[in-house]
Copies of this chain bind each other. A is one copy, B any other.
Amino acid sequence: MKQSLTPVRGTNDYLPKEMAVREYARSIILSTYKKYGFMQISAPILEDINNLMGSDGGDNEKLIFKVLKRGEKLDLSAPNLTEQDIVDIGLRYDLTVPMVRLFCANQNSLPQPFKSIQIDYSFRADRPQRGRSRQFIQCDIDILGDSTINAEIDILNTTAKTFLALGFEGFAIKVNDRRVLSDLIAYAGFPQESEKDVCICLDKIDKIGLDGVAGELQERGYNKKIVEKLMGALESILKNGINALAQYGVRDEVVQSVNKIISSVNALSGGKYRAEFNISIVRGQGYYTGAVYELYVDGFSGACGGGGRYDNMVEKMTGKSVPAVGFGLGFEPTCMLISERGLLKVKEELVACVYRPEDDITEVLKFVEKLNKTYNVSAVCAKKNLGFQLESLKANGFTKFVKFGTNTIEDL
């Protein structure tokens, strides 16, 4: 069989220089999340296919990598085969659905409310693009069991402090609320059952503009007058901001809730980042019920993460209502920006301990043992052209070298 040297389409190999950035980012993110009292858990990448397909994940459900049944359970000779017949497991498309399943199965062993951390892989068979991968790490924090906006504020404050700790200067948390969108859609006169469908179009305001969204809504068969009424409201809100919401039928308590989240996050920012209302934040998943938000680092057009309130997911699984709020930090775009902007300041020293082929490896490794109380030290056998070899080591991340048996550690 033909072997391929490239990674599977849409995935990446990471070399030592890239892994240095990734490990640095992982450790800063994890330690900052822990500082704010969140606790780490981990659910499997493999998840029951029915849990994934019934999870209200919007378009993400179309992007699931599905795993073939094994052994006797798989019968490819059966007539009229469907995917349901031959698939029992999927790779999770996000960390939220498996985390909620884990929470439901272990409620009695976890604190109430529960503040969780997950740093783990998810998979989507998405169209490959810059800063994205079909296998990607997300760094999620969630609070389960707090129905007040204290949860949103805690989540957003912890997230913002994490981006500060990573060295980012200048970023915005853009906040909206599904109930704002819901009230606007009702105000314009759309039938209630079309809310999710309309939200999917509104999610594209950033990409195709208001006119594009209006066109798409009409193509989907919505009445022109209703669409125009909604566009009028959105145009005014885009211009005048959150204060315009009340005149288009958005409930007072929803406006106050959004305002309080934004003002609290800003009060905690020390002027180093900002929270702001943005009507075009919608989020793709169907499971959101309240606040939704995304984080944008200045100078980069894509989001570095997002999340919101999803109060119905636990109830759907167990029948018992538990409110929930989360934020998923996008590890891939964040690491890309750390690299591009040179935010990785601390570099680990790597010393080559060069020995000759005739040296006794036991003695060489004893020598290494002494040095690596201070440095990371690699035993490297000398080649004939030592000068060239040292150049090559330097190009590959080594910073110093020492000849076995000498006491002089020299810069490369």
- Which of A38-46, A192-200, A204-212, A338-346 contacts its partner? A38-46
- Which of A231-239, A282-290, A321-329, A391-399 contacts its partner? A391-399
A241 to B277, CA, bound (A): 75
B82 touches A76 (CB 8 A): yes
Instruction: Decide if A51 is an interface residue (CB 8 Å cutoff).
Output: yes
Contact mask for chain A residues 107-124; partner B; CB cutoff 8 A; 1 contact, 0 none: 001111101000001010
Which residue of B has the minimal Cβ distance to A8?
B46
Distance from A390 Cβ to chain B, minimum over Cβ atoms (Å): 11
A4 to B392, CA, bound (A): 54
Interface size (A, Cβ < 8 Å)?
Answer: 106
A8 touches B267 (CB 8 A): no
List residues of chain B with CB within 8 A of the CB of A37.
350-353, 368, 376-380
- Which of A65-73, A169-177, A291-299 contacts its partner? A65-73
- Which of A98-106, A180-188, A248-256, A301-309 contacts its partner? A98-106
Contact of A361 among B44, B101, B150 (CB under 8 A): B150
Q: Given A68-B86, A392-B111, does the pair A22, B8 have CB atoms closer than 8 Å?
A: no
**At the interface, is chain A mostly helix, strand, loop or mixed?**
mixed
Contact of A365 among B20, B157, B317, B361 (CB under 8 A): B157
Contact of A36 among B14, B146, B368 (CB under 8 A): B368
List residues of chain B with CB within 8 A of the CB of A366.
268
Instruction: Decide if A6 is an interface residue (CB 8 Å cutoff).
Output: yes
Most chain B beta-carbon neighbours within 10 Å: one of A81, A91, A106, A111 = A111
Instruction: Decide if A179 is an interface residue (CB 8 Å cutoff).
Output: no
Instruction: Decide if A278 is an interface residue (CB 8 Å cutoff).
Output: no
Q: How many copies of this chain sit in the oligomeric assembly?
A: 2
A39 touches B362 (CB 8 A): no
A377 touches B41 (CB 8 A): no
Instruction: Decide if A48 is an interface residue (CB 8 Å cutoff).
Output: yes
Instruction: Decide if A271 is an interface residue (CB 8 Å cutoff).
Output: no
Contact of A109 among B4, B15, B30, B89 (CB under 8 A): B15
Most chain B beta-carbon neighbours within 10 Å: one of A22, A134, A316, A361 = A361
List residues of chain B with CB within 8 A of the CB of A267.
362
A115 to B381, CA, bound (A): 12
List residues of chain B with CB within 8 A of the CB of A54.
1, 3
A89 to B7, CA, bound (A): 11
A365 to B152, CA, bound (A): 12
A66 touches B65 (CB 8 A): no
Which residue of B has the minimal Cβ distance to A76?
B81
A397 to B54, CA, bound (A): 33
B2 touches A50 (CB 8 A): yes
Contact of A110 among B42, B153, B378, B396 (CB under 8 A): B396
Instruction: Decide if A409 is an interface residue (CB 8 Å cutoff).
Output: no
Contact of A45 among B1, B105, B135 (CB under 8 A): B135
A268 touches B110 (CB 8 A): no
Instruction: Decide if A34 is an interface residue (CB 8 Å cutoff).
Output: yes
A36 touches B83 (CB 8 A): no
Distance from A369 Cβ to chain B, minimum over Cβ atoms (Å): 8
Supply 17 further A-B pairs (C-beta < 8 A) apart from A14-B43, A81-B81, A115-B378: A3-B54, A4-B101, A5-B104, A7-B101, A8-B44, A8-B46, A20-B40, A34-B376, A36-B379, A37-B376, A45-B45, A46-B65, A65-B89, A66-B67, A110-B396, A150-B381, A154-B361
